[in-house]
Amino acid sequence: MHHKLIIYKNESNSNLLSVFVYEDNKLVEIYEENAEDKRLEGNVYLGEVKDIATGIQSAFVNIGQEKKAMIHVKDLIPKASDKTGNEDIDLSKYNINDYVKKDENIIVQIKRDNSNSTKGPKITHDIKLTGKYTVILPYSNFVTVSKKIEDAAERKRLIKIAKDELKKCNVNLGVIVRTSSQNLNEEIIKLDMEELLDRWKKIQRLAKRSKGAKILYDNQGIIGKLMCDFYEEDLEVITNSKVLSYELKEKYPERNIKFDTKVLNKDSKEFTEKDKRKVWLKCGGYITIDVTEAMNTIDVNSGKYEGKQELEKNLLQVNKEAAEEIAKQMRLRDLGGIIVVDFIDMKDVADRNAVKEVMQNAVKADRTKVQIMDFTKLGLLEITRKPIFGK
């Protein structure tokens, strides 16, 4: 699959970047970032524990940002499983006071920025340093392989490569071997691990000679993460900024980076200019999307739909098309957390199941974890989605 990143610097506001992600020439993700206020996800900090709220099993940590960051006990204890993390453990058995003390220093990573809300960043002690082919987890001790690699022999080979490299480097930490490593020469994978281990050593050295809140590693915001997410052989990067083009070529010399003043195509312009709350469907119906801090709500309406069949089949057609569009919009807008969809009422259980199946198939293209729950008694479909960039 071919990926293309279009990085557009706004002419009226030179600090504003818009990033458009294409898969096989189809627009699938859109992000915006202020160059003076880059998103913080992935950044690693030395933080100072300022307050401990035992009642909610959380601590508030100064990381040098305007608002204190929050860390929950589940993000402090070692991961119980390489498959479910700490999702299935009984947190009532743990006391946050056993893991952090007031005024002590702790190495943390931004899990969710929250810069656009009243809350401070959400942080974790479960550090993840991501490379092109592997991820290292300094505070874990398991080695695993991406679920997308299904061949048993290849999984076994990759696990052995990772374990051999850990043994050679005499370190005890966790490793996730990414999908991009499939069928690669072991030397390339080991080199990627070595670069990540070197990054972690630098972070540790900086932390040891530092006091107070301090950034230890800058993940370079949205562009840095996307550069890491996509394989270099499948990625084309185009920007309308000569300066940014030069900077990217310096930082990522192996990437295919181009400068083009007419980089923003018609599709991208239309999406950024139209009313983002209402999205029309081809059949004449439409969906409305409302985003709040607590949850995202999506309402499906029949609109101008003029089907010629009986009413129930008409509504089913609108709902099916809406399900596909909702999957697309969740990814375009990077919606995260709880998403509740109010489809047009369907009395038949078989119709509800058909719409749910359309949704399940449509979200398979998403790069992040999406869970489609069941319809509630009120006929609402519940969805949870892990945002690529936390909000």
pLDDT for 213-268, tens place per residue?
899 998 878 888 888 788 766 789 999 889 889 988 888 888 889 998 887 765 55
- The model's confidence at residue 106, banded by pLDDT at 50, 70 and 90, is very high
Residue percentage of the chain with pLDDT more than 70: 88
Average pLDDT over residues 90-95: 82
Range from 73-87, 147-161, 234-248 carrying the lowest mean pLDDT:
73-87
Q: Where are the domains of the chain?
A: 3-35+221-266, 44-217, 275-385
CA angle 333, 123, 142 (to 5 degrees): 100
* pLDDT at residue 36 greater than cutoff 80: no
Instruction: Tell me the CATH class for 44-217.
Output: mainly beta
- The model's confidence at residue 307, banded by pLDDT at 50, 70 and 90, is low
Average pLDDT over residues 141-159: 91
Q: How far apart, in whole angstroms, are the C-alpha atoms of residue 6 and residue 297?
A: 29
How large is the greatest C-alpha to C-alpha distance in the chain, in angstroms?
74
Q: How far apart, in whole angstroms, are the C-alpha atoms of residue 363 and residue 57?
A: 34
Mean pLDDT for all residues in the chain? 86
CATH 1.20.120 fits 3-35+221-266, yes or no: no
Q: Sheet harboring 143-145: ordered strands across?
A: 129-130, 134-137, 174-177, 143-145
Output the CA torsion 334→339→344→350 (10° steps).
Answer: 100
- The model's confidence at residue 84, banded by pLDDT at 50, 70 and 90, is very low
17/267: higher pLDDT: 17
The Cα-based distances of 141 to 138, 161, 166, 190 in angstroms read: 8, 15, 10, 17
* pLDDT at residue 101 greater than cutoff 80: yes
**Amino acid 372: pLDDT:** 95
Most confident of 27-31, 249-253, 264-268, 324-328: 324-328
Helix (H) and strand (E) counts in the chain: 7, 21
Most confident of 108-117, 124-133, 152-161: 152-161
In the block, residue with structure tokens 């409305």: 288
Q: Token pair for residue 193?
A: 């691990």
**Amino acid 216: pLDDT:** 94
